[in-house]
Amino acid sequence: MEEIDLQLNPLDNEVFVVTGMKIDFLSLPVPQIGAGVPDVSAPHFECSVYKSRPATAGDISRSNVVGSSRIMSAAWASGAPAELNMISYLENSSMDSPPASMDYLDIIATNNYFISVDSFESPVVQARCAVRLYGYRARADASTYAALVQSELLSA
């Protein structure tokens, strides 16, 4: 879990309006496989951006997740000593390019956001991801700002 500081000014009710997001996976590991069979336990990774520090891993079904991307891998081998013949990655991303009709994806009212990379089926294998958030700073009125902050803090 990595914390990113937005350096918002809470005295001015400053918020960050997220208009787009890009998540790229870096340095994905090659699955370890047996001869002649697909690796069904190949690592699956999910990178998520949270508005508040999460208690557990989550996906876009949770209210504090701005967006996430998942990558799944499969590999096949053959030969007496297993030789890697093919590896395939399938990436599913929530927002590589947001629809033009959307005004914004989310609003972050607290001073920071969090990035988490979770591994499924293989907790010892790690991957890295790079995240870019697009957006702008805005000022909210007092009641809207209070509601946004309360919502973020209670959704953790």
SS3 12: helix
Q: What pLDDT, in 10s, does the model give residues 35-64?
A: 455 555 556 788 889 988 887 777 777 888
Q: For the chain, what percent of residues have pLDDT higher than 70?
A: 66
Q: What is the pLDDT of residue 89?
A: 59
Domain total in the chain: 1
Measure the CA–CA gap between 64 and 53, rounded to whole angstroms: 9
For the segment 96-113, the average pLDDT, to the nearest whole number, is 80
Point out the least confidently predicted range of 71-80, 84-93, 129-138: 84-93
From the centroid of its chain, how far is CA 11?
Answer: 29
Looking at residue 98, its pLDDT comes to 61
Cβ neighbours, 10 Å, residue 69: 24
User: Alpha-carbon distance 119 to 14, whole Å?
Assistant: 34
Q: What is the 3-state secondary structure (H, E, C) of 62-124?
A: CCCEEEEEEEEEEEEEECCCCEEEEEEEEEEECCCCCCCCCCCCEEECCCEEEEEEEEECCCC
Confidence of residue 143 (pLDDT cuts 50, 70, 90): very high
Is the pTM higher than 0.85? The answer reads no
Domain hosting residue 57, numbered range:
2-154
Instruction: Say how far residue 75 (Cα) sits from the centre of its chain.
Output: 24
**Band of the pLDDT at 75, cuts 50, 70, 90?**
low
